[in-house]
A = this chain, B = another copy of it.
Amino acid sequence: MDLLLKDILSKIKMPPEELETVRGFLLEKRIKKNEFLFRNGEVCNYDSFILSGALKAYYINPVSGKEEILFFAIESWWATDLDSFANRTPSIYNIQAVDEVLLVQIHHQSLQELLQKIPKMERYFRLILQGYLSSIQRRIILMNSTTAEERYLDFADRYPKIIQKVPQYLIASYLGITPEFLSRIRARK
């Protein structure tokens, strides 16, 4: 839990007693390998901050019927389907534990109350979103302007921790290529 409180303090100023109030809205949760945070079709009720472990978000390609990775999330990241969480709509993807994961969660309803009680937290979440928007935009640029090989090298460079714990066929899926082709890319280095 402290990892989250530290993250908050790194982004906004907050006196200790307010921080304790924030703590009161949070829940710790442990989920086992392969368990789901939520599934396609459910409304996502929690926003989850990762203390340790890794999650994968994926959807099923309606044409091929295969799993496709949307993103991975590791410690210090928030993971949710924001559209589902914020607008109370069924999620279009799944989030599942890659290994054992320790989380801090906040329920949708609690978040509304927290934002009401401590409006400063609006700023915290705005800054979080801002960071994600930059990184996802960077990913779009990468997808449009580079070959699979460059994307793989960039990913390996940027997220070595993920490469270590996640099987190669999931990395391939994240990069938008087949596992066979990723294998060939790695072979020619």
Which residues of A approach B to under 8 Å, CB–CB? 59, 61, 63, 68, 70, 82-83, 86, 92, 115, 119-120, 122-123, 125-126, 129-130, 132-134, 136-137, 139-141, 143-145, 176
Contacts and interface: CB of A to CB of B under 8 A. Distances in A.
B140 A133 contact: no
Q: Which 9 A-B pairs have the closest CB atoms?
A: A122-B122, A129-B129, A126-B126, A83-B134, A144-B176, A61-B145, A122-B123, A136-B136, A119-B119
A137 B176 contact: no
A70 B137 contact: yes
A59 to B, nearest CB: 7
A125 B129 CA distance: 10
Nearest to A123: B122
Prevailing SS type, chain A contact patch: helix
Contacts of A141: 59, 68, 70, 92
9 contacts: A59-B145, A70-B137, A70-B140, A82-B133, A82-B134, A119-B122, A119-B123, A126-B129, A133-B136
A102 to B, nearest CB: 25
Contacts of A61: 145
Contact of A86 (B63, B130, B143): B130
B122 A133 contact: no
A77 to B, nearest CB: 14
Contacts of A176: 143-144
A133 B129 CA distance: 8
Contacts of A68: 141, 144-145
Given A82-B130, A129-B126, A145-B68, A140 B137 contact: no
Nearest to A129: B129
